Amino acid sequence: MHYRVLGATGIEVSTYALGTMMFGDIGNTDHADSTRIIHAALDAGINFVDTADMYSAGESEEIV
Contact 13, 46 (CB under 8 A): no
Known active-site residue 55 = yes
Q: Are 13 and 3 in contact (CB under 8 A)?
A: yes
Question: Active-site residue among 55, 56, 59, 60?
Answer: 55
Q: In which element (H, E) is residue 12 found?
A: strand 12-14
- Show which residues are catalytic: 55
